[in-house]
Structure 1
Amino acid sequence: MRNPALAWIGHPLTVIAVVVLLLNDHLFKPLWPGVVTGKLSDVAGLIVAPPLLNLLIRRPHLSILLTGTVFGLVKTTAAGAALASQAWTLVWGPSLVLADPTDLIALPVLYATWWIWNHPDARAVRLARAVVVIPLTVLAVAATGQVETFKPYSAHAVDVIDDMIVVATRGGRQPGPAETGFASGDAGNSWSSSAIPVPSPSKTSACVPGRPDRCYRTVATRLKVEEFRNGRWATAWEISPGDQDRLARAYASERPEDTEVVASLGIAIQKLPGGYVVVVANGADGIALRDISGAWHRLGWAERGFDSSSAVSLTASGRYDDSIPMAALMAALAAGLVALGCDVRRSGFAVAALTLWVGVGLFYSGVNTAVLFNPVAVLLAMALVPAGATTMVMSAVRGETPLRVWMVSTTTAVVTYYAIMMPFYAWSAGWLGYYSLASGLSIALGIATASAGTLAVIKLKDHETPEAESGR
């Protein structure tokens, strides 16, 4: 056997385990999430991991022992799960591995792995097969650590079926059921899970049964309901456009394609003894409910249905994108470096300033990643930031940069940061009505302050030049 390590990873049973791992994680789990598909990943992974590890350390027994030990630590300790999450994040992007002691039931499969090692496949095609299997094996093992995606909840349709208010919803942890629902038999006071299908899209207007003169309708793209009375349509309930804009930001997803609309999408009316209730599906904001007394309430997402106490407060601070402070920091740093560079005007300074800028960005992203931190980014930043800063300062000193230029450049960076952030602070506090307005003001103020700082340094440089020439 010229290459037993390749023969092990190319063994037919190992190849089968790789195929099972890929099919299970990318097909079976989304279709049939549950205990069986979860444990199947553990079984197949324990067969695949030792021969893959053996390619690096060339110690079969140690590879099997390390696989079992690491698997046990990851599945039984929070620290082990966190470290595994970091390792998978480095290889495959943001990932999450969860501790689950019940997964230890798969450990005996390591005997099968040992048996495969001791019964190599002697056919001549094993080397070619191994060449194909190795990248697939790495892909299959890495794919098992992917984070479950979360899609924002959305109430997208509503109807009254068999004297029950039924709201069709979607969202939650993915993979999972694409459509869910909640039903209420007591005029929206309590809710329970429901599998009753609701037509989608649902009706956007409805009349009180037996009262064709009393109708309600939603307004497209708005959180708003109009009521037909006295021969005309009038506003019955609404959220102001500014507050609706803030709610849309509150429910925004990290992935724009997963963001659900915040607007009234459907309406239904339930006739009750002594009156009626109106229910409106409001997308990501949950539902609006007109109770039998005529009062309107916003009901947000609760553990089992909807509840008024769970509705996002309209007076709460608005949530802007988490990336905004980072973008402001990087823009401010760039503004300060450009202003300083207008005095230094050395190619070495430009390279050093760019190195510092990249290093700061790597450090910020490394310590703010979804799973603890990204040590590779942090370590690289720890090398780039001191190197860039030191070279930049040395280049500026050699260019005899005056102290006042340093002060203007530093001030430019600080003022630019707050100029960019102030509109978002104002929007969050409710002083600006729309997020788009805050974004536009932020860009305009950032450009203005950065330009002012650069022009100030250029003016200082121009004033110094005649003095320097007269001194000579």
Structure 2
Amino acid sequence: MRKSALAWIGHPLTVAAVVVLLLNDHLFKGLWPGVVTGKLSDLVGLIAAPALLNLLIRRPWLSILVTGAAFTLVKTTAMGAYLASQAWTLAWGPSLVLADPTDLFALPALYAAWWIWNHPDPGAERLARAVVVIPVTVLAVSATSQSERYRPYSAYAVEVTGDKIVVAIRGYSSSDAYPKAGYVSGDGGRTWYGQSTPLTLNPQTSACVADRCYRIVPGRLKVEESTNGRWVTSWEISPSDQDRLGRAYAPDSPEDAEAAESMAIAVQQRPDGHVVVVANGADGIALRDVSGAWHRLSWTEHGFDAAAAVSLPVPGKYDDSVSTTALLAALAAGMAALVCGARRLDFGAASLLTWVGIWLFSGSRTDLLSHVFFLLLSLGMVPAGLASMIVTGMRAGIPFRVWAIGAATTAVTYFAAMTPIYLWSAGHLDHYSVGVGWSVILGCATAVAGILTVFHFEYGNIHLK
């Protein structure tokens, strides 16, 4: 029996692996988080990925080899995990892939992929099935798995009690075996130990010792000190670095976000000088030692540590919804260009059905029932819409150049919209709001340019007055 790339990806077992992957990542992991659902994604992903990769490589043995080598590199090396994180971040927004050698137990699933290739299904190569399976497989293999839920830790109050410095914190992670209410230091902030009993502290915005006073600046990571009645800056993080730093601690839900800003301050007099401690929200604490040097200390399993502080300047971390919104806008721009070239109502309806299905699929919902409902609905709408676009497009005789312009408009609009966000993340733009503003302007400009290009080729030159 003749074997082909479409027959492989359209094989019932490949389709079954894709369905399990989607259900596991979007449903089972939320219901039953743990080792079983975590490893299941690796198993079925290794079955589906080679078939998808083979659409490009067209060498089955090489597709399986590349898949296995890449999986091994990601799971066993820090560099591989880093590169995977960057690739997922570029495609889908900020993501984190962790090296975990125990995941290598899933590698035998590649034999299942090889077996499927060597035992093609007679009806697997039909165009209709391929049209349905390919986009769903791309979404399934590319989707990031659900990570553990957490709320960023936040140091919101600090107080000196006798010879001890007490910092109250809030926040949580699903991996916390023993949640802590705060950290305590008895040696001027050099070492810390956790405290689980609830703390009731009265946050202060200023504190004094001898003839010197300190105060925080509301909304800033900044401390001023007063000597002889004159306030001067003692320590600060620049507004642009603070803007990126505040987004480095992204929670699972926007309502769980914690600000990275100075919230409380305390001063401790010691025999060899004085120590200043500032509760800086999601960034941890700032500590002025007895020598007068300031240090940023962040979270570790054993307390605050300067080595754990996020380095400055910090790359800006943007929410997943940013890249999702850019992708949806880019798809809308590309489909609008195609509709202008097709000039058919049924093609426009099919395009709209596809876009709505993708929008429903990409939506983030906390309610499990609605999440499952819209996921299943989108899995029906997207393949049906794509199939209808292909069929109606072929009937309309849409020229290849229109398809090319539509695809190019989608790609260019996406990267035009995301480039200012990348520039902000890298520190080339000072504030996130500036990046968003330029993202909207460039995205709209490229979308309009794509539509006008279709009109130029299909309806003649357009002269704008």
Same fold (TM over 0.5): yes
Please, what is the CA RMSD of the aligned residues?
3.6
Mapping 1:207-218, distance limit 5 Å = 207-208=208-209, 211=210, 213-218=211-216
Q: Is the 8 A contact 1:263 1:283 kept in 2?
A: yes
Task: Give the SS at the match of 2:424.
Answer: helix
Q: Provide the residue aligned with 1:254 in structure 2.
A: 252
Task: Give the SS at the match of 2:247.
Answer: helix
**Distance of 2:179 and 2:305 partners within structure 1:** 22
Deviation at 1:201, TM superposition (A): 4.1
**Distance of 2:236 and 2:32 partners within structure 1:** 40
Deviation at 1:354, TM superposition (A): 2.1
Are 1:451 and 2:448 an aligned pair?
yes
Q: Is the 8 A contact 1:88 1:95 kept in 2?
A: no
Aligned partner of 1:94 among 9, 13, 30: 30
Query: 5+ residue gaps in structure 1?
Result: 1-82, 101-145, 466-472
Matched to 1:171, the amino acid is: G
Are 1:402 and 2:399 an aligned pair?
yes
> Cα–Cα, structure 1 residues 393 and 197, in superposed 2: closer, same or farther, change >3 Å?
closer
Q: Provide the residue aligned with 1:161 in structure 2.
A: 161
Q: Provide the residue aligned with 1:295 in structure 2.
A: 293
**Distance of 2:26 and 2:387 partners within structure 1:** 31
Q: Provide the residue aligned with 2:151 in structure 1.
A: 151
> Cα–Cα, structure 1 residues 456 and 98, in superposed 2: closer, same or farther, change >3 Å?
closer
Deviation at 1:297, TM superposition (A): 0.3
Deviation at 1:199, TM superposition (A): 5.2
**Distance of 1:464 and 1:147 partners within structure 2:** 51
Q: Provide the residue aligned with 2:268 in structure 1.
A: 270
Q: Is the 8 A contact 2:250 2:317 kept in 1?
A: no
Deviation at 1:376, TM superposition (A): 8.5
Deviation at 1:340, TM superposition (A): 1.1
Deviation at 1:353, TM superposition (A): 1.1
Task: Give the SS at the match of 2:323.
Answer: helix
Q: 193-202 or 317-326, which moves further after superposition?
A: 193-202
> Cα–Cα, structure 1 residues 178 and 338, in superposed 2: closer, same or farther, change >3 Å?
same
Q: Provide the residue aligned with 2:336 in structure 1.
A: 338
Residue-by-residue CA offset, 1:410-467 (whole Å, 9 max, x unaligned):
22111101011101110111111111211121112111111121122223333299xx
**Distance of 1:405 and 1:159 partners within structure 2:** 67
Are 1:311 and 2:344 an aligned pair?
no
> Cα–Cα, structure 1 residues 240 and 408, in superposed 2: closer, same or farther, change >3 Å?
same
> Cα–Cα, structure 1 residues 360 and 199, in superposed 2: closer, same or farther, change >3 Å?
closer
**Distance of 2:261 and 2:183 partners within structure 1:** 19
Are 1:434 and 2:435 an aligned pair?
no
Task: Give the SS at the match of 2:155.
Answer: strand
Task: Give the SS at the match of 2:259.
Answer: coil
**Distance of 2:387 and 2:461 partners within structure 1:** 26
Matched to 2:193, the amino acid is: S
**Distance of 2:257 and 2:275 partners within structure 1:** 29
Q: 183-192 or 378-387, which moves further after superposition?
A: 378-387
Residue-by-residue CA offset, 1:342-397 (whole Å, 9 max, x unaligned):
1212121012112332444566679x99x9xx999887666544432332233233
**Equivalences, count:** 330
**Distance of 2:419 and 2:461 partners within structure 1:** 34
Mapping 1:376-395, distance limit 5 Å = 384-395=381-392
Deviation at 1:400, TM superposition (A): 3.4
Task: Give the SS at the match of 2:203.
Answer: coil
Q: Is the 8 A contact 1:205 1:267 kept in 2?
A: yes
TM-score by length of 2: 0.63
Q: Provide the residue aligned with 2:409 in structure 1.
A: 412
Query: 5+ residue gaps in structure 2?
Result: 1-19, 37-145
**Distance of 1:197 and 1:402 partners within structure 2:** 69
Deviation at 1:321, TM superposition (A): 0.9
Q: Is the 8 A contact 2:159 2:201 kept in 1?
A: no
Matched to 1:254, the amino acid is: D
TM-score by length of 1: 0.62
Matched to 1:439, the amino acid is: V
Q: Provide the residue aligned with 2:189 in structure 1.
A: 188
Percentage of identical aligned residues: 50
Larger radius of gyration: 1
Matched to 2:167, the amino acid is: V
> Cα–Cα, structure 1 residues 195 and 408, in superposed 2: closer, same or farther, change >3 Å?
closer
